[in-house]
Amino acid sequence: MNEIANAVNRNIKNNSPNPVLTIAKKEYTDAVKNKLFITLLIFLLVLTLVSIVVSSFGFQGKIADYQNSLKILKDLGKITDVKTPPQFYPLQMLKGVVNYLEIIGAILGIVLGYLSIAKEKGKRTLQLILSRPVKRSDIISGKILGNTLLIFSVLGITMLFIYLIITGIGGALLTSTEIIKLLLTIIFSYIYIMFFFCLSSILTLKISSLTQALVICFTIWLVFVLIIPQIGDTMDPDNQIPGGFFQSMNISKPQEKEIMAKFHTYETTRNAVEESSITKHYERMSFALLGIKDNYNGKNLGYIFKDRWRDSVWLLSFLIITIIIEYSVLSNKNKNFKEF
């Protein structure tokens, strides 16, 4: 008998009020013991740490270069005071972290979603669990809750390393606003990873062949994470030259808008292609919060959400839709229970 079924039985005997917590705890402990999950987690953390350390040394170097140049000018008597020193934005160092979360974070979500259902299919125990007085919604709720706690644990560890390296190596003290922006980025990262968890578990539950389900999951990952964003970037004329085509040509923002207005259909099509990918919405929202896009540096949260609220709505919509589908798939799974 499956361990989840045993745990549910113990809950029933002990009149435990909430089998969701039992399933969630089992999901968490199973994932922590899984070698594939641990390998992916270590890989993500190592890449994140390397990216942050390199960026922190670069950030510290910029500050040191500025201070040295300022000292030389003061020694030469060229300046006596600096009224508007340049602004340095430490959260910009997290561009590499966002890129890694886009790729490896999505894979992590797919693996967790696949393992969550595949272990039940492999042991043919899902119907056994459902033969107990447990609601089908409790099974999905338990799996979602357990993996939610797991994903937040991963992101929490990542955030702790980020904070320690930025302050310790980069020598930057984060303001309360910057910490809030970092926390919001973690929340949107959870939404992004959880979408792939739900998508993977839906396909693994729906498709009888585990191998076929996994292949389809990674095909969707390839399209959403790599192909569509790359198509959108390639179609954007401003991305064809480092630093931006319009900026390199000294074209002002009003002139840029005037030019792009003549290519309205093209730009609408390009934007529609990008918006079909949850990865692009996650990137846009994260880059805005972290100030990786220069026009969001030093801006308050009100300004950022006013400009990028559509991306947050799209991210939430992607996740909510997959959660609803997952509950629906399990509730309509009667005819396929014999396959388990």
| Rounded Cα–Cα distance for residues 125 and 149 (Å) | 24
pLDDT value at 171 more than 80: no
- Domain count for the chain: 1
- b/e map of 46-58 (b: 16 or more CB within 10 Å)? ebbeebbbebbee
The number of beta carbons lying within 10 Å of the beta carbon of residue 160 is 10
Range of the domain at 217: 3-339
List pLDDT tens digits, range 328-339.
887 765 544 444
DSSP 104: I
Looking at residue 304, what is its pLDDT?
Answer: 92
CA distance 195 to 320: 8
pTM of the model: 0.81
Q: How many CB atoms lie within 10 A of CB 272?
A: 10
Q: Give the tens place of pLDDT for each residue, 274-296.
A: 788 899 999 999 999 998 887 88
105-159 pLDDT, tens digit each: 999 999 999 998 888 776 666 555 655 666 778 888 889 999 999 999 999 988 8
One-letter amino acid of 58 = G
